[in-house]
A and B are shown apart, each in its own frame.
Chain A
Amino acid sequence: MNDSFQLADELLASRLILGSGGVPSMQVLDEVLAASQTAMCTVAMRRAHPGTHGSILDVLERRGVRVLPNTAGCRTAHEAVRTAQLAREALGTNWVKLEVVADDRTLLPDPFELLEAAEALVAQGFVVLPYTNDDPVLARRLQQAGCAAVMPLGSPIGTGLGIGNPDNIAMIVSEARVPVILDAGIGTASDAALAMELGCDAVLLASAITRAQHPAQMAAAMAAAVSAGRLARGAGRIPKRHHARASSPTEGMPVL
């Protein structure tokens, strides 16, 4: 079950959003897009080198996958706004995955620059999808600023540590009036399933697939995990309890 979900003015056919970072080749990217059945994939904006052949845009277009430019590498609101403007010019989309990170070691979002950039971009008509900390208050502020979703991290980018603070993710979900997309930190399929079980609307991941030993196989696993987690969330899990509760009848026991 990979049911579609509404993000801004678009109905996306998959709740698994891919990042293309770290993919070893365009061939592998193509395989991963197919196996994941994703509907949207991120790209970064970088200096164009003369004589480069082939473009990631061709691969995405062939698969009918929507392109989502990001502002990866930006450290200030100023840089991020400029990068978003350039991406809009280059790609003809006003959607942007807003990333404003504090330093290379943690790649954690800088909350002050992030919020400033989000406010500026919303004012300029962008559909802003901010990569944010797992901080419910910051998520609330980003929503108030007019962001079309909030995308809290599970753990720092590329770490594969999974969801470090599921209670915070659940709190963000419980308060959200826009879609919540778990972004960053996913290591394996169970992490993606947990994100959906916590009530996230979608999962965005890159390294977990692109740097796996077998990327296409992991892409298929992630698609299944997102579906499974979504189903389980809807099914309503049993409450956790500290003592056992028999599942077999306690009536009608013979005396032996």
Chain B
Amino acid sequence: MQLTINGDPHTVAAQLTLAELIDRHRSAGNTSPGGRGSAAAVDGEVVPRAEWSTFAVRDGQAIEILTAVQGG
């Protein structure tokens, strides 16, 4: 299925949870799966971390994976 992850198009296998997707996208050191420091929104809606492992990603969705960086 086709997804947009942080603005870029990606083709991924069907049957993927948000937790698995974030795990693949993980940036070692600043986001760890299930760990602190990262957050995700799907189609503009925040998905709480507790729901990541059961949240089934669907074709065409836009996913934003965020982390804390220097700023402000």
Binding site for B on A (CB under 8 A): 19-23, 29, 42-58, 67-70, 72, 82, 85-87, 89-92, 97, 99, 206
Question: 8 interchain pairs (CB within 8 A)?
Answer: A21-B71, A45-B39, A45-B69, A48-B26, A48-B27, A52-B29, A87-B39, A90-B67
User: Given the known A-B contacts A47-B6, A55-B67, A57-B37, are A19 and B72 also in contact in the complex, defined by CB atoms under 8 Å?
Assistant: yes
The residues of B with any CB-CB pair to A shorter than 8 Å are 6-7, 25-31, 36-41, 44, 46, 48-49, 64-72
**12 further interface pairs, Cβ-Cβ under 8 Å (given A19-B72, A43-B71, A86-B46):** A20-B71, A44-B71, A47-B6, A50-B26, A52-B29, A55-B68, A56-B30, A56-B69, A57-B36, A87-B68, A89-B48, A97-B72
Ranked 8 nearest A-B pairs via Cβ: A44-B71, A42-B72, A55-B30, A90-B39, A70-B72, A89-B39, A86-B39, A20-B70
Decide: A54 and B30 in contact? CB cutoff 8 A: yes
Verify B66–A50 contact, CB threshold 8 A: no
Nearest residue, chain B, Cβ from A68? B72
B44 to chain A: closest residue by CB: A82
Summed over the interface, the residue pairs from A and B with CB atoms below 8 Å come to a total of 117
Please judge, given known A-B contacts A52-B30, A91-B36, whether A47 and B71 are in contact too, CB under 8 Å: no
Bound-state Cα–Cα, A20 to B49, Å: 26
Q: Tell me, in angstroms, the Cα distance from A233 to B63 when the chains sit together.
A: 50
**Assembled-state Cα–Cα distance A177/B68 (Å):** 31
List of B residues within 8 angstroms of A206 by Cβ: 72
Closest to A51 in B: B27
B residues less than 8 Å from A85 (CB atoms): 46
| Best-surrounded residue of B29, B30, B41, B48 (most CB of chain A within 10 A) | B30
Chain B residues with Cβ below 8 Å from A70 are 71-72
Q: Which residue of B lies closest to A184 (CB)?
A: B72
Do A50 and B72 touch across chains, with their CB atoms under 8 A apart?
A: no
Determine which of A50, A53, A90 lies in contact with B37 in the assembled complex, contact meaning CB atoms within 8 Å: A90
